[in-house]
Amino acid sequence: MLAELAGALITGATRLMTGVQGRWLGCAPSESQRLYFANHASHLDFVLVWSVLPPRMRRRVRPVAADDYWNRGRMRKFLIHQVFRGVLIARGKVEREHNPLTAMCAALDEGDSLLLFPEGTRGTGGAVQPFKSGVFQLALAYGELELVPVWIDNAHRVMPKGTLLPLPLLCSVAFGAPMKLGENEGKMEFLERLRRALVELGDA
């Protein structure tokens, strides 16, 4: 009950402050399992996406987030675990015992969807950086999984790097057409195709 109340308050405050609207350009909202992949410019990014999802989808679309940021302090822990049901991963060198794919695969195996930021780190609102290989590994392991590009507009101005509180500026979130790994498609080719689709969605 407390988590649901907190989620409603966060959604309302986010919409009030940013006027964020969801634009479903290439697909309709669906409770089907998907991997949403988005550009990353702010700690507010997944909150913006979460706020424009239909209420019935929010508990099943789980953001992939940095363990070292969100697992500090009682409030952050409550938000990421109880409200957003985040999938926390360790940043830095990938090791067998701390492979970030393990947690993501576990969430997918439970039937949940993921919200992933394949650049791996926050940008500055400029060019979309090359994608890390994790999204390719997930597409390879879950061949029927739809990958939906998500463009978050203006988040880098609402909450730039180094700031603690968001600024009241307008944002939007656009959802593109679902994609899948092509037959015999190589890793670099696939990652660049996803990156281009995201950039084109931002220009739409």
The CATH code of the domain that includes 173 is 3.40.1130.10
pLDDT for 93 equals 54
Q: Which residues of 91-113 are buried (b: 16+ CB within 10 A; e: fewer)?
A: eeeeeeeeebeebbbebbeeebb
Range of the domain at 158: 2-63+94-203
The DSSP 8-state label assigned to residue 159 in this structure reads S
| The pLDDT value given to residue 162 | 54
- Give the CA distances from residue 140 to residues 44, 121, 128, 185, 191, in Å, rounded to whole numbers and listed in that order: 29, 23, 23, 10, 12
Q: What is the pLDDT of residue 99?
A: 84
The predicted pLDDT at position 179 comes to 97
Check residues 204 and 61 and name the one with the higher pLDDT.
Answer: 61
User: What is the spatial distance between Cα 202 and Cα 182, in angstroms, rounded to a whole number?
Assistant: 23
Q: Is residue 80 in a domain?
A: no
pLDDT of 170 reads 76
Q: Is the residue at 177 inside a domain?
A: yes
CA dist 171 and 156 (Å) reads 10
Q: What is the pLDDT of residues 42-101, one digit of tens each?
A: 778 889 999 999 999 999 999 999 898 889 899 999 999 999 999 999 876 555 566 889
Is residue 84 in some structural domain?
Answer: no
CA pair distance 35, 113, nearest whole angstrom:
6
pLDDT at 25 over 90: yes
Residue 85, domain member (yes or no): no
Beta strand 113-116 with 61-66 is parallel
Helix (H, G, I), strand (E, B) or coil at 128: coil
The reply to whether 18 falls in a domain is yes
107 belongs to a structural domain: yes
**Residue 80, pLDDT score:** 95
| Residue 128 belongs to a domain | yes
How many domains are contained in the chain? 1
The verdict on residue 74 lying in a domain is no
**Residue 69 has which token pair?**
């940021």
In angstroms, the CA 68 to CA 88 distance is: 9
pLDDT digit string, tens, across residues 115-172: 999 998 766 656 789 999 999 999 999 999 999 999 998 765 555 555 555 555 678 8
Using an 8 Å Cβ cutoff, are 107 and 30 in contact?
Answer: no
- The per-residue pLDDT for 41 is 76
